[in-house]
Each structure stands twice: as C-alpha cells, then as structure tokens.
Amino acid sequence: MSIQEVTLHRMVMRLKDPFTTSFGTFQDKEFFVIEMEDESGCSGFGESVAFSSPWYSEETVETNKHIMENFLIPLLLESPIDHPDEVSKRFEPIRRNNMAKSGLEGAVWDLYAKRNHTPLYNALGGTKQQIDVGISIGIQPTAKELVNVVEGFVNEGYKRMKIKIKPGADYEMLKEVRKYFPDILLMADANSAYTLADIDMLRKLDELNLMMIEQPLSHDDIVDHAKLQSVLSTPICLDESIHSVEDARKAVELGSCEIINIKIGRVGGLTESKKIHDYCAEKGIAVWCGGMLEAGIGRAHNIALTTLPQFILPGDTAGSSRYWEKDIIDPEVFVDKGVIHVPSKPGIGYEVNREVLESYRVEKTVYSKNNILA
C-alpha cells in the first residue's frame, strides 16, 4: 500500500443528551474523521477520539492535529506499507500521542481490509458474528432520575449497566439502582475521582455485587490500585492507567486489576489493542472494549475489535441513536436486545455517509504525497 493522500475532516457533532463524568460534562463532540487513499484509489477511514479538553488524558483535538500534521502523516506518506502492524512501529520515534496515532492507524487497517476484500474483524483475526454490549450512563442529578434512566436501558435490552460515579454521587445512588434491579449486571466507573483516603466508601461498594469498579484511583496509578484491590472483593478494571501491553503486564503482575478496558485510541491503535488482548488471554484476564463517545467510524472499529475471543464481557459500544440524531455511517450501528450483528462487508463494514459527514464538518485539510515531496 502506498498512501497517496490523507484528508482530515474536522467534525463537531452535538450529543443528543449531555454526558457527565467525574471530570466534566460533554455536549459537543469534536474530532477528526481521517480518510486515506492509496495508489489504487482505494480509501480507508479512521476516527480520532481525543476530546476538546485534556480531561480524560493529555491529548486534545488540537494536539491531535499538530501531531498528525507535522509528524505522523509525513511518516505515512514517506514509503509504502505492507501490513497495518508496521504503522505503530513507524510511529515509534514519536512519544505517546496515542490517540493521534490510533486515528491514522485505524484508517490504514480499514484500507488494508478493503484492499483484501475482507471485513476488518476478519483482518484482525476476530471470529464472533455478533457481540454483546452494555451502556455507560453519565452522572444523574438524583438517584430517582438515575433509576429511571437505568430502567429505560434495561428495557432496551442492554446487557450491562455502567454508572459513572464521583464523590457525593456514589454508594447511595448505586444502592438505589441495586434495590430496583437486584439481578442486572451492574458496574461503576469513577474516572480517577478517588484516593486511598476514600477506602471506607470504596469497601462499602463490595455490598452491591458490582461486576467491577473502573479506574477508582489516579489516572496514572497502578501501585495504589494494587493496594486497593487487595482489600476489595469487587474486581478493579483499569482504563486510564493502561496505554500499552507493557502497562497491562505491569498492572497484572502487581495485582492492580482483574479486568482491563481496552480503548483503541488510548493504547495507540488496533495493533497494540490486539497485543493487550493476546496478553490478557494468556493470563486469563477478562477484557472489554471501552468507548469515547465515538461517531460511526470509531464505533465500527470498536465492533471489529470486540470480535476477538477474550472480549468476554459486554463493552460500552452502544447504538448510534444513543448518542446522535444522525450518525455519519450507513446503516447506523443498531443494537438489538443488547446485541450488535457484526457487518460482513469489506473494511469497517459500514458506508460513510458523505452528505451527513459534510453537514457536521467544520474544516477540511488535505495532505498529499506530491505536495509534501514538492
């Protein structure tokens, strides 16, 4: 594959409902759709997942643009690529900036699968034809409202409810949900809102039969998580702390978690995601696919990844209509009783709807091999 042209479509899409986490509220999702064309005229699509502000991690939409434009895109246009696994190697001289790397690598994977007339999930080595999914529910103003929101998603058939928590909106709210729904698969995600000083509240969560608690402590910690895990019966799942298979290995060896949330963007792409998946399969660590409020292209990549066998727990890949009035792919991602049927068309398996994409686009920048060489 010789990449001839990379197009960055800068997008702004309004979420149907604001989404609140312990670190802030999202309303407008800003990101890049990355389009890549090779010498045969074939094209592939990726999506960058950094947010407008560096709340979840240090990357932002603007830093993604800087890094892609000045460092990563020139590396891609420089010489041909035989297999997408080479992309992360080629990006290695650039430190971190995993979300910038991942958006581009995702487009290469889609392009590669399309050139080979095979679905992306198959190119990745996945086999599942359908995947089970849960839903992530933002912090609600009251326990009553939370119970109502949970009820709606339980009725839609989502397989697992994840509730965002923060100090002051944690134990009591979850207890209320558990009271009304004694049997659902329930978990909490703190997005790093606690420290070991909160150990008493965290231990009380053990009463609620949660599947897991996601990232209770600092975004860059694995040591305190190991201390916490040693006194909790609820499994800890790490999200923010894991950026690579090496991070996963260290966390598992330390006993910092029993479960890992794999987000393609956070770990720098599908190749690294697969490495973490394979390592966890070997160690018997369950994984699931996290979400970053993606539009359809990122969502399609998550679906393809989730077809790998160690994704044994339902992920956060909800249907398009949970987020958007109109998604940028055709058909949209549809969840039927908590199940997504994996598309079998080549590449990501969904068509990009150009008209809808352009309606949300605020900027378009084209980088071509000829221009860069000229």
Select from 21, 97, 229, 273 the one that contacts ligand OSB (CB under 6 A): 21
CB of 80 to Mg ion, least distance (A): 37
Q: How far apart are CA 274 and CA 264, in angstroms?
A: 9
Any known ligand binding at 5? no
Any known ligand binding at 214? yes
Note if 128 is an active site residue. Answer: no
Residue showing tokens 């703190």: 190
Nearer to ligand OSB, 38 or 316 (CB): 316
Catalytic residue among 164, 274, 275, 369: 164
Note if 164 is an active site residue. Answer: yes
# residues near ligand OSB by CB under 6 A = 12
CA dihedral 220, 238, 300, 333 (to 10 degrees): -120
CB of 304 to ligand OSB, least distance (A): 16
Point out which span in 85-93, 109-117, 276-284, 286-294 binds ligand OSB (CB under 6 A). Answer: 286-294
Point out which span in 60-68, 148-156, 241-249, 290-298 binds ligand OSB (CB under 6 A). Answer: 290-298
Contact indicator for 215, 191 with CB cutoff of 8 Å: yes
Secondary structure of residue 359 in the 3-state scheme? helix
Instruction: Please state the φ and ψ torsions of residue 124, each to the nearest 5 degrees.
Output: -80, -15
Residue 247 sits in the site that holds ligand OSB (CB under 6 A): no
Select from 35, 38, 59, 189 the one that contacts ligand OSB (CB under 6 A): 189
Give the helix ranges, DSSP H, for the chain: 61-67, 73-78, 85-90, 98-115, 120-124, 143-156, 171-180, 199-204, 223-231, 245-254, 270-283, 296-306, 354-360, 369-373
316 binds, among ligand OSB, Mg ion, none (CB under 5 to 8 A by kind): ligand OSB
CB of 166 to ligand OSB, least distance (A): 12
**Which CA distances in Å does 301 have to 105, 137, 212?**
11, 21, 25
CB of 75 to Mg ion, least distance (A): 30
Per CB under 6 A, contacts with ligand OSB among 24-83 are 56
Select from 59, 247, 316, 327 the one that contacts ligand OSB (CB under 6 A): 316
292 binds, among Mg ion, ligand OSB, none (CB under 5 to 8 A by kind): ligand OSB
291 binds, among ligand OSB, Mg ion, none (CB under 5 to 8 A by kind): ligand OSB
Beta bridge partners of 131: 340
Catalytic residue among 114, 263, 275, 369: 263
Phi-psi region of 112 (alpha: psi -120 to 50; beta: other; left: phi over 0): alpha
**Which CA distances in Å does 308 have to 88, 280, 293?**
20, 12, 21
Residue 239 sits in the site that holds Mg ion (CB under 5 A): yes
265 closest CA partner among 229, 295, 286: 295
Nearer to Mg ion, 7 or 21 (CB): 21
Q: How far apart are CA 151 and CA 180, in angstroms?
A: 9
Contact indicator for 186, 210 with CB cutoff of 8 Å: yes
Q: How far apart are CA 65 and CA 176, in angstroms?
A: 43
CB of 300 to Mg ion, least distance (A): 20
56 binds, among ligand OSB, Mg ion, none (CB under 5 to 8 A by kind): ligand OSB
Q: How far apart are CA 187 and CA 174, in angstroms?
A: 9
CB of 324 to ligand OSB, least distance (A): 12
Q: How far apart are CA 109 and CA 256, in angstroms?
A: 32
Residue 189 sits in the site that holds Mg ion (CB under 5 A): yes
Per-residue tokens: 360: 């949300």
Any known ligand binding at 239? yes
Point out which span in 16-24, 106-114, 145-153, 185-193 binds Mg ion (CB under 5 A). Answer: 185-193
Which residue ranges make up the site for ligand OSB (CB under 6 A)? 21, 56, 136, 189, 191, 239, 290-293, 316, 318
Which residues lie near Mg ion (CB under 5 A)? 189, 214, 239
Binding site for Mg(2+), by residue number, is 189, 214, 239
Question: Active-site residues: which are they?
Answer: 164, 263
